[in-house]
Amino acid sequence: MPIYNPPLDDIRFVLNEVLKAGALAREIPDYAEADWDTVGGMLEAVSEFARDVAFPLNQSGDKEQCTYNPADKSVKTPKGFDEAYQQYAALGLIGMSADPAYGGMGMPQYLNVAASEMLTAANFSLSSYPGLTGGAYKALHKFASDDLKDIYLPKMLSGEWSGTMCLTEPQAGSDLGLIRTKAVPQNDGSHAITGSKIFITCGEHDLTRNICHLVLARLPDAPEGVKGISLFVVPKFLPDANGEPGARNPAFCTGIEHKMGINASSTCSMSFEGAKGWLVGEPHKGMKAMFMMMNDARLKVGMQGLGLSEIAWQNAATYASERVQGKALKDFNNPDAKSVAIINHASVRRHLMDMKAQIDGFRALAYDVAIRLDLAAKHPEPTVRRDAEEYAGLMTPILKSCLSDLSCTVAQRGIQLHGGMGFINETGVNQYYRDSIIATIYEGTNDIQAMDFTFRKVLDFNDHMNRLGLFMAPLTEQVEAAKSNPATAEAAKVMEEGIKIFQNTCTAFMQLGMAGKLDEIHAQADHFLNMTGRLAVGSMWLKMVDAANEGLAALPENDGKAAFYRNKLALSDHYFTHIMRPDMKRMELLVAAGAAFLGNISREQQVPGPELGIAKSESKPDNRGHGPFFTF
């Protein structure tokens, strides 16, 4: 049977000792009550819910799945999900970081990030139901009229109503400019919404009394492309005079997808048949609001990757400690030697160290970005808000892409370490791999994250130096300081090498861009994103080394926590020596080789054809859409 123990010690270490998150309570008046004692209590509450309520439903939910009833177009969630969701809502966790004016707790956003990690690790499917409500809340809170906010936000934050994102259509996945859903103005100020949407996470379910769909559609006078898209809130039930669910709105689920993973999360096709909807924000400006939801969702997807990586690692490490198989190499020729647990085999230890060093490093980076978002939202100084927002924007595609990729790698290696027991369903660990794949695809495939990072965030000829400087300037200062510290001097050398590779790559990409050779850049964008991620995580490990040494120095002799800090130091050494240094050099070679390849070969020669024995398919492609903007 699988296990999950929320990594509270690791989370506390990062937030309190490394990132000094408690300082927000002193710097930002709105977070005055978010002292470390309060934050710690909330982390405990989330961890208990994740471990004791959500996790026991993970395997059973995956097996039972959601079921669709075509008679009334309803969806039933697996046994126990309703009670678990109601308990989660009763704890106030849906509105933990939301505006108190609408029933939220007003706590920092970094608490939401920690909650997302633990809840996703415990039960990815269950976490999807309240997860999208948070993004819908943010869009409505920022762009909706006061009347709409008064109607919808309190119910959403209490958990009585939930929210969705309705973007993708059969012909419009990555290219939302192709959407066809129509919105026709009505005399009462509403709009009649007509169209079909697909891949809608939690578009229909039985956990809440109402579901509030945020729908992209076109007004009759809309210009072509994304500049003609507006956003509407379309409830399942129309709110009555008392703000309670009233008449049924013709917004129906027409079926659910049968998927590789997240089987207990309802992935719906939706039909809007003249359903009443209300404009959110300005006409033809829907993408602005939707991008707010999208950025929030992409960070949450990163946390899904982190949570799945953590639980896959925990189960792999536990199994490796218990599974006895093979003699230690030093005793290979000793006929009397006994077999040992496989964690004693060097390759197994390396795999586990690879996993953990990246999990811990990316956790620190993710929580750091969450704190930047808190600064961007609430800090009294405008320049601090601006810089924090720019830095968070730069790091968001890295977190989404790198962490979702990491979850696939860790889950696959976890299965490998379980051997045959990992391949069968009984142990439950193959579910983490099946669930992890979707995180690399939705809210923007990882290739599209690389495009966004490279072309929009870095190679933006208008302001790329400022945005990149927010990352590189403090990083360079940090590495210079680390060189003079014996505890970090070797790591600083690795970071210096990495910075040089990164700077050379930036220069080469800029030169290619100015020469109009965008394909050469595009083909290597994923390596460039991963290269930046390695540097960013290296920065976090330098900070964690300092914090671990401070923690060791403050401990009394023979304190049991010393092993925790020493483990962090060992993981840091492993990251810089066995992960960062070889990966940076490998990616440097890949970028150079890839650019040279594309520069010396025609497009026709790059595409495999009949001469390689690849037959042309006679079947029609499935045109239901995929890409950066659809959501499950």
Q: Report the DSSP pairing between strands 210-217 and 191-201.
A: unpaired
How far is Cα 225 from Cα 175, in angstroms, rounded to an integer? 9
Query: Treating both helix axes as pointing N-terminal to C-terminal, what angle do 489-514 and 562-574 enclose, rounded to 10 degrees?
Result: 40
Strand (E) or helix (H) holding 247: strand 245-248
Q: How many Cα atoms sit within 13 Å of 483 on the Cβ side?
A: 11
The three-state secondary structure class of 70 is: coil
For residues 533 and 175, give the distance between their C-alpha atoms in angstroms, rounded to a whole number.
Answer: 27
**217: phi then psi, degrees, rounded to nearest 5:** -155, 170
Our answer to whether residue 443 is catalytic in this structure is: yes
The phi-psi region of residue 171 (left if phi > 0; otherwise alpha if psi is between -120 and 50; otherwise beta) is alpha
Taking the alpha carbons at both ends of the chain, their separation in whole angstroms is: 28
> Judging by beta carbons within 10 Å of its beta carbon (0-12, 13-18, 19+), is residue 126 exposed, middle or buried?
buried
Q: Which amino acid is at 559?
A: D
Closest CA to 80 of 103, 100, 53, 112: 53
**Which amino acid, one-letter code, is at 309?**
S
DSSP string, 399-456: HHHHHHHHHHHHHHHHHHHHTHHHHSSTT-THHHHHHHGGGGTTTS-HHHHHHIIIII
Residues 15/16/17/22 CA torsion (nearest 10 deg) = 110
What lies within 8 Å, CB to CB, of 94 at 6+ separation is 88, 130, 133, 134, 156, 157, 158, 159
Distance CA 453, CA 445 (A): 12
Q: Among the options 443, 477, 520, 611, which is catalytic?
A: 443
Task: State the pairing for strand pair 237-239/245-248.
Answer: antiparallel
CA 367 to chain centre: 12
DSSP 269-288: EEEEEEEEEEEESSTT-HHH
- Residues recognised as catalytic: 443
